[in-house]
Amino acid sequence: MLLKFTKMHGLGNDFMVVDGVTQKVFFSPELIKRLSDRHFGVGFDQLLLVEPPFDPDLDFHYRIFNADGSEVQMCGNGARCFVRFVIDHHLTNKREIKVSTVSGVLTLKLNDDDTVTVNMGKPHFDPAVIPFKCDRKSLQYSIKLKDGTVFSHGAVSMGNPHATIFFDEDVQDSTIQKYGSELENHENFPERVNVGFAHVVDSHSINLRVYERGCGETLACGTGACAAAVIAITQGRVKSPVTVTLPGGSLKISWDGNETSSVMMSGPATRVFEGTIVI
């Protein structure tokens, strides 16, 4: 079978985006792993699949698969690429669309300056929702690793689980290499967790690196940027709006601090090339 796809990225967090509306497609975990290989396949952090909506009031259904073949609930950088893709491929004539995901409905808008704003929905701090094993809900938790190291972190779901650890200075590669995988797979997070290594620069700025579950460290993580901003706001470290700078670039995150309010994320979405591959 000949499969058409588009390679895209959001601040270097890269994707293989596939139209499942006009093409019949099925992706097994083994096929996704093969396609994600950067030497023998297309190469990507996540595969994004555009599907017809299940609800007539929505425009599309949005599915996300990690490079290891696992399906996940949410990808913020991917959401920005999603709306850019469906507009560029004339699957819609709207500049603002609503899409369903495993974790809920997203509103995506292509702005006049070609940036994309995503209504990421409400943050969820309830440990059972994240999911996260702990005795009670708190603004800050402690997590102990095998070598005895203890980190303090905030925890939130942005449609997927996040733990954000704040450091007094920018985090070194050695820290992420040493602790990223163990934190991702810690027993306190039954569905694994995306780990943010953050440094507050000033009252409206955060530097962030994210070790994503199923991917390792990526150049950018939209939900990770939202999680870091939301946790920092709740802990009184910053004020909205927050510029979150990742290795691949910056995102603007706005949230009023109310748990019933949505988090808004704005940033770029870039098309790299169009391609076809035999699967």
Helix (H) or strand (E) holding 178: helix 173-184
Does residue 75 have an active-site annotation?
Answer: yes
CB-based burial, 39-54: b 16+ in 10 Å, e otherwise: eebbebbbbbbbbebe
Helix (H) or strand (E) holding 30: helix 29-36
Q: What is the DSSP string of 181-246?
A: HHHHT-TT-TT--EEEEEEEEETTEEEEEEEETTTEEES--HHHHHHHHHHHHHTTS--SSEEEEE
Distances (CA, A) of 258 to 47, 171, 234: 32, 29, 9
Q: How many CB atoms lie within 10 A of CB 67?
A: 23
Binding residues for substrate: 13, 46, 66, 76-77, 160, 194, 212-213, 222-223
Catalytic, out of 81, 134, 215, 221 = 221
Catalytic, out of 75, 81, 215, 226 = 75
DSSP strand E in the chain: where? 2-10, 13-19, 46-51, 60-66, 71-72, 96-101, 104-110, 116-119, 141-144, 150-157, 161-167, 194-202, 205-212, 216-218, 242-246, 249-254, 264-267, 270-278
For the chain, state the CA radius of gyration: 18
Does residue 81 have an active-site annotation?
Answer: no
Catalytic residues: 75, 221
